[in-house]
Amino acid sequence: MIAVKSPQVSVIGDNQMSASSNWIPYLSAAKKSCLVENGVRKVHYNLPDGKEMVEEYNLQTDVLQRRMWKVSDTVRGEKWNVEVGDQLPQFDNLESVGIQENATAPMLTKRITKTNIEWRIRNLPYARDVYSVTADTDGITVRTSNKKYFKKIDVPELARVGLLADSSLLSYTHQFNTLIITYKKPPKVLEMESKILEMVKAVSPTKVPDIKNAPDQCKPS
Amino acid sequence: MASIAAAKVQEVREITRIERIGAHSHIRGLGLDDSLEPRNVSQGMVGQLTARRAAGVVLEMIKEGKIAGRAILLAGQPGTGKTAIAMGMAQALGQDTPFTSMAGSEIYSLEMSKTEALTQAIRKSIGVRIKEETEIIEGEVVEVQVDRPATGVGTKVGKLTLKTTEMETVYDLGGKMIECIMKEKVQAGDVITIDKATGKISKLGRSFTRARDYDATGPQTRFVQCPEGELQKRKEVVHTVSLHEVDVINSRTHGFLALFSGDTGEIKAEVREQINAKVAEWREEGKAEIVPGVLFIDEVHMLDIECFSFLNRALENEMAPVVIMATNRGITRIRGTNYMSPHGIPIDLLDRMNIVATKPYEEKELKEILKIRCEEEDCEMSDDALTVLTRIAGETSLRYAIQLITTSGLVSRKRKSNEIQVDDIKRVYSLFLDENRSMQFLKEYQDEFMFNEMGDSGDAMEVTDG
């Protein structure tokens, strides 16, 4: 099968859809399917505007582990763009990609805890007083006084409830070559998340055979 | 003091002269005015008024973009400006319309069938204008580092350090990207953008912070500010890719970087069918636009009967480009058959073509062309010498006369003169034989050459038609 790639590229972080603070109606209009596997509740959204999104919730804590968006690209084909959680492992080698960041380059991951939104930037070996993290109208900005790293971080959660980043909720620490930025979730975000969780829990999971814990009926010789 | 300055200027020029001078590098367009009337001498074109006017009409047709699959034949004697007219059309069409130029003999390859080569050429000449958002890396080069393995074989390892005013990042480079960087001559201090999706590198200029390094900066060097903010940005761009590029990108076996090395091999028919369907779909949805371009086949008599019948069919396709062919043959054998036909092209294909004839240049026109070439090749020539050279061009060939410009320029420089005199022309005329004198020479001394099988008839031209 040859997948012909479409030129229409949708981007996350570009808060076109989420800026309108009707995030909950947008998600509830989606066609949802759910799968419980390895202690993770995976929810797949077929959104009304043709986009696709996947969320993964931890069954124990009910915290969102990962959220990713399907993006199609004229050149590389379909891929999943991770909004929350660890990046997917990359298997393309350098020859086919052409250019990629060095392994020592800083890497940003985002995770969500019960009360906070957290960003970790690994591979930042500079002293703590080099960094400055500020909240402004279009998100959070990380700067370094030695001009080695700069990043504008979007916070789609805030945009979805129609809030701006607030510097009083923002804090950061630096240890083990990692800059950890913490943003305390405002009540509005907590409320939105609990509503979505309720919605997600209402979707009955598809049965999949539990291969890992299945009694091994077939005994290979 | 003045001589030192002069020497320095000379040195700078040596460094900046990177582009070589080609046979048609003086052509910048077709030299037509707005009502498509040809100007006698304009944009490097001289004479050939009717042919240029016809080319102008064809150009309008291409620009309208409505008619696909027309064929134009430029027919004329050697050295009457067929390739020049095609080049002029390419220049006049501009960057956005795909123009593919190939020679008829290019299709004979062991790696690819003839029809595949032709199909690729046809698809290279059809553009698809797509609007899309891509990720680009934009920054000032801090360091380019390429390590070759000690054994000399194996993959090269490359690192590229880029910075903006706020940050700095090291990137790893793959082999093909290293080649691109070498080709673009990217060096520390350049401000470049890399399209992450296509791997295309473009130089924006040199950073202002490097403005004090006077070495290796010519008059055309552009200075730009070091970019701000993050290195990776998302940008909406409209770019024109050819159908062939879309084919290659989508044929899994190659990967898009095959485009740079050119080793695309054969592409399966089903890939092409799917692309066609997809492009038609994009077109209906308004995501993409088809830009039919021009395929120029020089020396078209070198194609054989299979290619001609393939072209017959291909021209009827709605996705076909405008095909311009050029030939200098008269009534001759069609390659691959024993039939004779005008221009060595089958009658049924000739019937589908509009034929534009080029005529031999007149003496006045020859003089103009030689004058333009003198300027292009940076040689000053006295009026007498130009008259002599024009006579040589009339008696031998225009190409031979053009060859004499730079050579006589070198001879005049040897005797420390900046202007070419008649004596210099005479000298190179005696040094280099033209075709007629060479034949004369061979006829006189043929007995002393090896493998001499030429009888008294002297019909040497038969050999070329194989």
Q: What's at A214, amino acid-wise?
A: A
pLDDT at B16: 40
CA distance B183 to B172: 18
Nearest-Cα residue of chain A relative to residue B165: A147
Tokens of B426: 């005479």
Is the Cβ pair A152, B163 closer than 8 Å? no
Residues of chain B positioned with their CB less than 8 A from the CB of A98 = 173-174, 176-177, 199, 257
CA distance B392 to B223: 47
Is the Cβ pair B169, A7 closer than 8 Å? no
CA distance B3 to A60: 85
Residue B427 burial (CB count, 10 A):
18
Put simply, whether A1 touches B (Cβ < 8 Å) is no
B14 Cβ partners below 8 Å, 6+ apart?
A: none
pLDDT at A82 > cutoff 80: yes
Q: Which of B169, B173, B274 sits opposite A4 (nearest CB)?
A: B274
Query: Average of pLDDT values for A97-108?
Result: 86
CA distance B168 to B341: 66
Residue tagged 């019937």 (tokens): B351
pLDDT at A189 > cutoff 70: yes
pLDDT at B21: 72
CA distance B370 to B368: 5
pLDDT at A11: 38
Query: Closest approach of chain B CAs to the CA of A77, in angstroms?
Result: 9
Report which of B428, B438, B391, B388 is spatially closest to residue B406, judged by C-alpha positions: B428
Nearest-Cα residue of chain B relative to residue A93: B174
What is the DSSP code string of B75-120? EE-TTSSHHHHHHHHHHHH-TTS-EEEEEGGGG--SSS-HHHHHHH
Compare A53 and B131 and report the one with higher pLDDT. A53
pLDDT at A144 > cutoff 90: yes
pLDDT at B262: 53
pLDDT at B15: 40
Compare A8 and B427 and report the one with higher pLDDT. B427
A-proximal residues of B, 389-408, CB under 8 Å: none
pLDDT at B141: 93
Put simply, whether A92 touches B (Cβ < 8 Å) is no
CA distance A179 to B13: 51
pLDDT at A7: 39
Put simply, whether B160 touches A (Cβ < 8 Å) is yes
Q: What's at B342, amino acid-wise?
A: P
Is the Cβ pair A101, B169 closer than 8 Å? yes
pLDDT at A93 > cutoff 50: yes
pLDDT at B239: 76
Residues of chain B positioned with their CB less than 8 A from the CB of A149 = 167-168
Is the Cβ pair B197, A94 closer than 8 Å? no
pLDDT means per 10 residues, chain B with 466 residues, are: 45 44 81 85 86 87 73 88 86 82 86 87 88 85 87 80 92 86 86 83 86 63 87 82 81 54 70 85 82 88 90 84 89 90 90 88 89 87 91 89 89 88 90 89 84 58 46
pLDDT at A10: 36
Contact criterion met (CB below 8 Å) for B219 and B225: no
Report which of B270, B292, B288, B271 is spatially closest to residue B279, judged by C-alpha positions: B288
Put simply, whether B159 touches A (Cβ < 8 Å) is yes
Put simply, whether B258 touches A (Cβ < 8 Å) is no
CA contacts within 13 A on the Cβ side of B167: 20
Is the Cβ pair A98, B163 closer than 8 Å? no
Compare A10 and B70 and report the one with higher pLDDT. B70
CA contacts within 13 A on the Cβ side of B349: 28
Counting one residue from chain A and one from chain B, the pairs whose CB atoms sit within 8 A come to: 109
Compare A72 and A180 and report the one with higher pLDDT. A180
Is the Cβ pair A9, B171 closer than 8 Å? no
pTM across the whole model: 0.62
Put simply, whether A78 touches B (Cβ < 8 Å) is no
